[in-house]
Chain A
C-alpha cells in the first residue's frame, strides 16, 4: 500500500477540486490532489461548452441576477451562500485570468458576452465565453505552480476516520486504476470534489462522474441534501449530442409527431429558449398526451447556418456528417432528428453533500465543493452554464477553510483495523470474477430510472416501483459485482455508486410531497410553500438503509421570499389550460 501524508487531500480534479487545491496551497497547506483520470483532461469541466455565467459587478444588475437565481432555485437556495457567491465570483474571474484562462474580449478590453438559455429581452443574463479545453489545462498548471502534488489515475473509494474521534475525517483510501495498488492519503482535512452522479446517461461526456464523493460521504456519516432534484438534458435519440444553445439560436425547432412546434404552448415567455428542464417537461407532456415521438428540426438551416454550426460545434458537425444528416458543404440530407430528454442526475445542479458557508459538511474535517456539494447557490435549478462559476466559489471557500482547519490539527492517528476492513471491502469485486457484469447493473439502473414517468412526470406508484427494482439490484447484484483487473474494479465500483445514488434520489423524491421546478409530481401538482420550504437531508441508517429528515429554510430572514403559499406548477397549469386532463 502506498501511504502519502499531507495537510489537505482533495479528491477530484475538475474546476472545484483544482480551485480548492490551489487555494489551500496558497494558504500554506501541503496539498495532494487525486483524480481517477488525468487532472486537466478529466471531469465535466474539460467539456465545458465555453460558457461561464459569472456576475460582473461593473456591468450587471445585482438585483436582476440575485432575483433570477432565486426564481430558478425555487426558494430552495441557501441565500447566504448565494450572496457570498455573487460577492466573490469577480475575484475568481480575476484569478482565472491571472492563471491564464482566456476569456473572449471586445477591442476596448471589456468582456465579450452573449445571452444564453434562460435569458430574455426583459431580463438579460449574459455569459462570459472561454475556450473549453484550455480552462482545465490552465488549472492543472496553476496547481503545479502553487506546489500541489497531483496523483493521477487513483480512484478514491472510502474515507478514513480519526482513531480517537469517530466524527472526524482524517484521510481517503483508493487504488490505482492501472496497477491496482491501494493508496492511503493521511490528511488533517479532506475536500471532496469528484463531481455529480450522472447515471452514465445518454448525453455527451459525463460517464465518468459517478457520485463517488456522494457515496464516500454518505457511507462515512455525512449528510446529502437536495437529492430529489435533478438536471435534464435534451439530445438526439440516436447518439449523444450537445450544443443546444447554438442549435436553437440558429433557428432549429422542437416539433411533435403532428409537426407542431409545441414549446411556446407550455412556456410562452421563453418557448424553445427556455431552461432545459422546462422543455424536458413539455416534451414529456406531449408524449404523455399521445403526440410523440418528438423531433428537433434543422430543416430551415441554410449552408451558411451549417457553416457557423461547424465552426462553433465542430465535433457535433462531424457526427452529423458521419451519420449522413448533412454533407461536408452544408447540404441538409435529414433535418428532422428524433429528440429525447435525458436524465443527467445532479450535473450542474441538484443533490450532493450538504455544506455550510465555510464549505464544511456535517462531519469534522470533511469539506465538499462544486457538484459534489448540494449546490447551495442553485437550489432546485441553476442558471445554465452556472456550474463552473459555482465550482470556483465553493471550491475556493472549501480549500481555504480546509487549510485553516488543518493548521489547528495535531498528529494524525488512524485506526489500522478500519483501514484494513475498508481495503478489503474496496477490492470485493476482484474476488468473484465470475460474478455480475457491471454493464448489466448500469443498464438495470437506467431501465428503472430513465422512463419519463419516473423522473419527469413523477407519481408515487411509478417511483415506488422503480425504488423496489433499485433495491432488488442493490441486494442481489451489487454484492456479486465482478472485476477481473483494476480497470474493471473502477467500473464495478462506479456501477455500485449508481445504485446507491439512485436509491437516495428516489427515496428523497418520494419524501417531497409537492411539485417544485423539475421535481414535478402529478399526484402533488402544487408548489407548497406552507409545508415544503425545507431541505431534505439524507444520512446512512442501520442495515445499509437511509434516514431522511428535513431542515427548515430560514426564509423569513432571506431577502427574497415567495409571494404565495401554494400555486399550481406552471407546466401542469399550462397543460390544463390547453384542455389536457392531467
Chain B
C-alpha cells in the first residue's frame, strides 16, 4: 500500500507534499526532489496526491500485507 511513485518529469519541486504529509513519509533529496523515504509509515491518505499542483504523485490503497482483522 501507500505512495507508489513520484514522477520527476512532472514534479515542480515545490515541497508541499513533504510539508503536509501527516506521517512524515517524504523527504527531499540533494536536488530538492521529494523522495519516498519512510514507506512503511504511509497510511494511503492521498493528501500528497490530492494537493500536488502538478499531478506528479500516485498513491494506492491496495495492501501487500493483510492487516490484522477481528476474525
Contact = CB atoms under 8 A, between A and B. Distances in A.
Interface of A: 37-38, 40-43, 46-47, 133, 152-153, 177-178, 202, 204-208, 237-240, 284, 287, 292-293, 315, 318-319, 322-323, 340-343, 439, 443, 446-447, 450-452, 455-456, 487, 490-491
Contacts of B60: 322
B28 to A, nearest CB: 10
A340 B43 contact: no
Contacts of A490: 24
28 contacts: A37-B21, A37-B22, A38-B19, A38-B21, A41-B20, A41-B22, A46-B47, A152-B19, A178-B24, A202-B67, A202-B68, A205-B45, A208-B22, A238-B62, A239-B1, A293-B71, A318-B61, A322-B60, A323-B62, A340-B69, A343-B70, A446-B68, A447-B68, A452-B70, A452-B71, A456-B70, A487-B24, A491-B41
Contacts of A284: 70-71
Contacts, number: 94
B63 to A, nearest CB: 5
B67 A47 contact: no
Interface in B1-46: 1, 19-24, 27, 37-38, 40-41, 43-46
A3 to B, nearest CB: 24
A319 B49 CA distance: 13
A239 B22 contact: no
Interface residues of B, number: 28
Contacts of A293: 71
Given A202-B69, A323-B62, A239 B44 contact: yes
A286 B20 CA distance: 41
A443 B68 CA distance: 8
Contacts of B71: 284, 287, 292-293, 340, 451-452
Contacts of B67: 202, 237, 240
A562 B23 CA distance: 44
B43 A205 contact: yes
Contacts of A439: 40
B60 to A, nearest CB: 6
Contacts of A487: 24, 37-38, 41
Contacts of A207: 23, 41, 43
Contacts of A208: 22-23, 43
Given A239-B62, A240-B44, A341 B70 contact: yes
A443 B40 CA distance: 13
Contacts of A38: 19-22
A450 B69 CA distance: 7
A207 B38 CA distance: 14
A455 B68 CA distance: 14
B40 A46 contact: no
Contacts of A41: 20, 22, 47, 51
B70 A239 contact: no
